[in-house]
Amino acid sequence: MAEAGSKSLTRLLKGAAQVEPFELRAVLIGFAYNFFLFGSYMILRPIRDAMGTTYGAFNQLFLGTLIGTLIAVPIFGAAASRFKISTLLPWIYGFIALTLVGFHVLFARGHEARWVAGAFFIWISVFNLVIISVLWSLMADIFSRDQAKRLFGLISAGGSAGAAVGPAITALFVTIVGTNTLLLISAAGFVVTAGLVVMLEREKKKLYAAGHDSQNTTLDHRLPGNPFRGFGLVLRSPYLRGIAAFTLLMTWTGTFLYIDLQNMIRGAYADADARARVFAIMDLIVNVAAIAIQIFGTSRLVARFGVRTGLVLNAFVMIVGFCAVAVAPVLGVLMVFQVVRRISQYALAQPSRQMLFTLVDQESKYKAKTVIDTVAYRGGDYIAAQSQAWLQAIGFGVPGIAATGIGLCGIWWRFGRRLGRRYDATPGKISDADDAMV
């Protein structure tokens, strides 16, 4: 009976994403890993957003997040040089669980001051990018370029499924058990995630021994270099610099929208729990829609039109959305725009961006990728917050900010087009000799 079920699942996944039998176990564990990771984080995200509205002053929050990120990246680099990759990765998630227990204790003791809300927002914003970057570093260290085209959409669907369950839990239970109890539920999810990382590491070892590990690498070693090695790798490589610029522009334009939406929701809903519920419902809609596209559409779109299409389509959606906001700068339009933007980002832009890292060496997959996924991301947040404040100071309203966003999206589209063309034209690895953008 179990064997028949396994064969049926294999046929289903092969039809959805052309999963080969020898890949099945690694893909399923990767799916579950992504599910529990995003489910645990998305329980926290609506709470984080509500804490952000409690604190206000988003330019301060984004500055604090950027500083925290600049501190966290060298710490990660130092840990990668000191511990084996196989030891480091699961312990990252265990450490996150411990910090959530610490915040639970603070809130349980009545420490609900504005500074605690700000600290919670900053910490969640710092670690969420690190944990996601680590996940995709491991995926890019297991699967090849061609496998990534077939499988990353399906693995991403695990994250979208978890991201749908997480906010649903928050929306249903936040008014019953309160935000503090949800922190413990999230912490338990991160413990499960750590266990799944261990399972996936073992699967990679089996694939390597059987000759199926397409990246031909192991995790039983440390990564060389000093804590700032990742920054140097990015600065020396035109290809990695292009990914960093793409990531910064994607975040910059998205944060423009995020801040406007935060301000309007804060004005429309006075209660923090009500605001958390609104954010949770939006997250639920986004991720339910993204799941279907990731399972049945991402791999087919990339196979037919190339990674370039997956990278540039999100920028096109942003241009259309900013035009709509410029014409009708009201809460309803902003909410619809945010939902559509995030669906296109999660279903297409993010899996396509992660595929780009299958062409680089193992050290770049972990150290340089962490720099790009954290510093470029949070740098985009901070630049967006500062530039939006400056634009408002000189008299720009929501329509003027939307017009600025359209211009930025044009530059972002160009970087996506160049990166996608380079990826689609490269059959193997990118070496130092030919590392140049085209």
Give whole-number Cα distances, 99 to 94, 119, 120, 140, 305, in Å.
9, 12, 10, 28, 43
Tell me which amino acid residue 426 is. T
Q: Which pLDDT score, from 0 to 100, does residue 4 have?
A: 52
Q: What is the pLDDT of residue 6?
A: 54
The CA–CA distances, whole Å, from 370 to 62, 93, 136, 366 equal 18, 15, 10, 6
Contact 263, 350 (CB under 8 A): no
Q: Residue 74's pLDDT is what?
A: 92
Closest CA to 143 of 300, 22, 13, 309: 22
| Domains with residue ranges and CATH for the chain | 18-434 (1.20.1250.20)
Residue type at position 75: I
Q: What is the DSSP letter of 142?
A: T
Q: What is the 3-state secondary structure (H, E, C) of 78-138?
A: HHHHHCCHHHHHHHHHHHHHHHHHHHHHHHHCCCCCHHHHHHHHHHHHHHHHHHHHHHHHH
The pLDDT assigned to 194 comes to 97
Question: Mind listing the pLDDT tens digit of every residue in the chain (438 residues)?
Answer: 455 545 555 555 665 667 888 888 999 999 999 999 999 998 888 788 777 776 666 678 878 888 898 899 999 999 999 999 999 999 999 999 999 999 988 887 765 577 788 888 899 988 888 999 999 999 999 998 888 888 998 999 998 888 888 877 877 777 777 777 889 999 999 999 999 999 999 999 888 887 766 678 889 999 988 889 999 999 999 999 999 999 999 999 988 887 777 777 777 777 766 776 777 788 778 878 888 888 888 888 888 888 899 899 989 999 998 898 888 878 888 888 888 888 888 888 889 999 999 999 999 999 999 999 999 988 888 888 888 888 888 888 778 888 898 999 999 999 999 999 888 887 767 755 455 554
Element (DSSP H or E) covering residue 241: helix 238-268
pLDDT for position 438 = 46
Tokens (6 digits) for 196:
């799944």
* Helix H or strand E encompassing 385: helix 377-393
Of the candidates 127, 149, 131, the one whose C-alpha atom is nearest the C-alpha of residue 140 is 149
